[in-house]
Amino acid sequence: MFRVQAGNPWLDTLIVVTALEAATAVVGYAIGHLFLSLWLVTLAFLAWQLQYVLRLDRWLHQGGIAAPPDAPGIWGDVFNSLRRAQERHRRRRRTLADLLARSKQAADAVPDAVVVLGPRGELEWWNVAATRLLGLQAPRDAGQLAGALLRHPDFRTLLAADRYREALTIPSPVLPSVILEVRLVPFGERRRLLLARDVTRLVRLERMRRDFVANVSHELRTPLTVIHGVAETLVDSDEDGAAEQREALELLLQQTQRMRRLVEDLLLLSRLETTDASANQQVVAVAPLLQQLCQEAQTLSDGRHRIELNADATLALRGEESELRSAFSNLIINAVKYTPAGGEIRIDWRRIADGACLEVCDTGPGIAAEHLPRLTERFYRVDRGRSSRTGGTGLGLAIVKHVLHRHEGRLQIESELGVGSSFRCLFPASRLAVLT
C-alpha cells in the first residue's frame, strides 16, 4: 500500500508534475499551442515512467535475484521497498536453511536410526545412524517401501498392523552381530517414524543374567539334593536323640527343602524365559487338572479352609500342561498359604465374553493397592516375615505371569485389605478348545 505523506517521493512527484503541467500550460498558452504542449509533456512524462516499468519487468523476469535497479522519485521508493522485502526474504531463507541444517545435524548426531516413512510406508528421509544400522543408502533407497528393504517377517507384520506400542527385537539387516529394537511412531498426516536402537549390549547382558541364574541353579541342584538326603537320613536315624539336636536337624531339613524349591522355581523361570513358547502345544483339559490341584490344596489345608471348585468340563485350553499346572498350582497354594484357618477359597474355570477365565478367590488378609503393580516381580513380597514362614520362594507370581504370557493370557489381581483377594487368569478365545 503506497501512502502519500508530506516529504515523501509520492508528494514530491505530484508537486513536480503539477508544476511541470502548469509551466507547460503557461508556455503553451503563450505560444498558442496549449493542448499540444500539454499533450507532448504528458507523453514525455509517461514515456519516462514506462522505462521504469520496463526495468521493473526485466528485473522480475530475471527472478528478482539481483539488486533492483536504481531510480529517482516514486520508482526509487518502489525499488527500495522491493530491495527491503528482498533482504527480509533472504534473511528468512538463511534462518530457515540454518534451522534445517541444525535439525539435520541434530538428527545425524542421534545414535539411533530415525527414518521418516510416507503414507504408503515409503522411505522419505533418514539419518546417518539409519545408514549404519539399517543399510539405507541415499539416493538409491529413497521412495522404496520399508517392507521391501527390511525383510524380517516380524517387522513386516509390525508395519502392516500399524502397532505402535510394540517394540521388536530383530537382527540388523546389514550388521549380523548387532541386535536392534525397532518401533514405529505415528506423526503428522499419515506419516510414521521408524526408530531403531542398538540393544546388542542389553540383550547380551540379559542373556548373561539368565544364563548365570540358570547355571547357578543347576549347579546348586545336586549338592542340595545330597544335603537334603543326608538331613533326611539324620532325622530318621536320630529318633531317640536330644530334643535340641532333633530340632536343629528338622530345621536343616526344612530349609534345604525350601532351597530346593527355590532352585526348581528359578530353573522353571529360566526355562520359561529361554524356550520357544510355540513348542509343545497340546489341548489341556483344565477341569481334571484343577480337580487334582484342588485335592493337593485340601491336603495342604488339612481341613482349615472350605475349598470350592466350579469348572466347566467342556472348556479346554491349548498350551503346555506342565506350565499351566505350575501357574494354577501357585495361585491355589498361595490362597491356602495366606488365608487364615476358617477362610474360604473358591476356584472357578468358566467361559467369559472374549475367552475364558480361571479365578482363584480367597477370604484371606488381602493385599494393599500399592503392592498390586509389583506383585509379579521376582522376590517381591508384601510381608517378608509371613512369606518366609509360609515357605514361599517369592517366585510364584512371576512364574504365573510368564506362563500366562506364553499362552497369550494375562493376570488380573483384585484385592481388598481384610476382605480377600481374587487372582484371574484371562485367556483369549483363540486359545480355547471344546471337549465333547
Site string for ligand ADP, 313-332 (x = CB under 6 A): -----------------x--
Sole window of 112-120, 209-217, 305-313, 375-383 interacting with ligand ADP (rule: CB under 6 A): 375-383
Peptide bond into 373 cis (omega under 30): no
Residues 433, 324: Cα–Cα separation, whole Å: 15
Residues 174, 133: Cα–Cα separation, whole Å: 7
Closest CA to 196 of 177, 169, 175: 169
Residues 426, 414: Cα–Cα separation, whole Å: 13
For the CB of residue 415, give the shortest distance to ligand ADP in the complex, in Å: 7
For the CB of residue 409, give the shortest distance to ligand ADP in the complex, in Å: 17
Closest CA to 367 of 390, 350, 344, 386: 386
> Which residue in the set 183, 260, 381, 431 belongs to the binding site for ligand ADP (CB under 6 A)?
381
Give the angle subtended at the CA of 292 by the CAs of 291 and 296, to the nearest 5°: 115
Closest CA to 135 of 100, 173, 81, 182: 173
The number of residues that bind ligand ADP (CB under 6 A) is 22
What is the grid cell recorded at 105? 545435524
> Which residue in the set 69, 135, 147, 394 belongs to the binding site for ligand ADP (CB under 6 A)?
394
- 339's enclosing H/E stretch is none
Site string for ligand ADP, 342-371 (x = CB under 6 A): --------------------x-xx-x----
Nearer to ligand ADP, 55 or 258 (CB): 258
Nearer to ligand ADP, 9 or 364 (CB): 364
> Which residue in the set 130, 375, 403, 411 belongs to the binding site for ligand ADP (CB under 6 A)?
375
Q: Which residues contact 362 (CB under 8 A, 6 or more apart)?
A: 335, 338, 339, 343, 344, 345, 346, 420, 421, 422
Report DSSP state, residue 262: H
Sole window of 200-208, 302-310, 347-355, 382-390 interacting with ligand ADP (rule: CB under 6 A): 382-390
For the CB of residue 224, give the shortest distance to ligand ADP in the complex, in Å: 18
Closest CA to 356 of 292, 422, 407: 407
Residues 81, 87: Cα–Cα separation, whole Å: 10
> Which residue in the set 382, 426, 432, 433 belongs to the binding site for ligand ADP (CB under 6 A)?
382
Under the binding rule (CB under 6 A), the answer on residue 127 touching ligand ADP is: no
> Which residue in the set 387, 403, 407, 424 belongs to the binding site for ligand ADP (CB under 6 A)?
387
> Which residue in the set 26, 383, 405, 435 belongs to the binding site for ligand ADP (CB under 6 A)?
383
Sole window of 153-161, 198-206, 248-256, 333-341 interacting with ligand ADP (rule: CB under 6 A): 333-341
Site string for ligand ADP, 35-74 (x = CB under 6 A): ----------------------------------------
Nearer to ligand ADP, 33 or 386 (CB): 386
Phi, psi of 197 (to 5 degrees): -120, 140
CA-CA-CA-CA torsion sign (179, 185, 187, 191): positive
Residues 379, 393: Cα–Cα separation, whole Å: 7
Under the binding rule (CB under 6 A), the answer on residue 397 touching ligand ADP is: yes
Identity of the amino acid at 185? V
What is the grid cell recorded at 227? 544335603
> Which residue in the set 56, 195, 327, 335 belongs to the binding site for ligand ADP (CB under 6 A)?
335
> Which residue in the set 343, 392, 407, 425 belongs to the binding site for ligand ADP (CB under 6 A)?
392
Site string for ligand ADP, 169-188 (x = CB under 6 A): --------------------
> Which residue in the set 116, 334, 403, 404 belongs to the binding site for ligand ADP (CB under 6 A)?
334
Residues 246, 242: Cα–Cα separation, whole Å: 6
Residues 346, 357: Cα–Cα separation, whole Å: 13
Nearest residue (beta carbon) to ligand ADP: 392
What is the grid cell recorded at 131? 545408514
Binding site for ligand ADP (CB under 6 A): 330, 334-335, 338, 362, 364-365, 367, 375, 380-383, 387, 392-398, 421
